């Protein structure tokens, strides 16, 4: 049996396309986000600002 350790995953924000390295991600509520905007639910209406991703509230 092989053990696999996950080091990257999709940002927990539903509309975000970013893949985050969990060692550098913003962790909130047991989920991992690529930016403060995503982690806070885009309360200011801002996207994550990463190239190629147009996530928003």
Q: Domain coordinates of the chain in residue numbers?
A: 10-39
- pLDDT tens digits for range 25-41: 999 999 999 999 999 99
Predicted TM-score (pTM) of this structure: 0.85
pLDDT at 57 over 60: no
| Alpha-carbon span 38 to 16, nearest angstrom | 8
CA angle in degrees (0–180, nearest 5) for 48-35-5: 125
Q: Which range has highest mean pLDDT (2-6, 7-11, 42-46)?
A: 7-11
Listed as own residue / partner, the contacts of 44-50 with beta carbons closer than 8 Å and 24 or more positions apart are 48/11, 48/13, 48/16, 48/18, 50/18
């Amino acid at each position: 049996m092989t053990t696999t350790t996950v080091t990257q995953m999709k940002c927990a924000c539903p509309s975000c396309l970013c893949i985050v390295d969990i060692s550098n991600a913003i962790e909130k509520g047991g989920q991992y986000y690529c930016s403060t905007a995503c982690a806070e639910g885009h309360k200011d209406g801002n996207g994550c600002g990463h190239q190629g991703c147009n996530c928003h509230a």
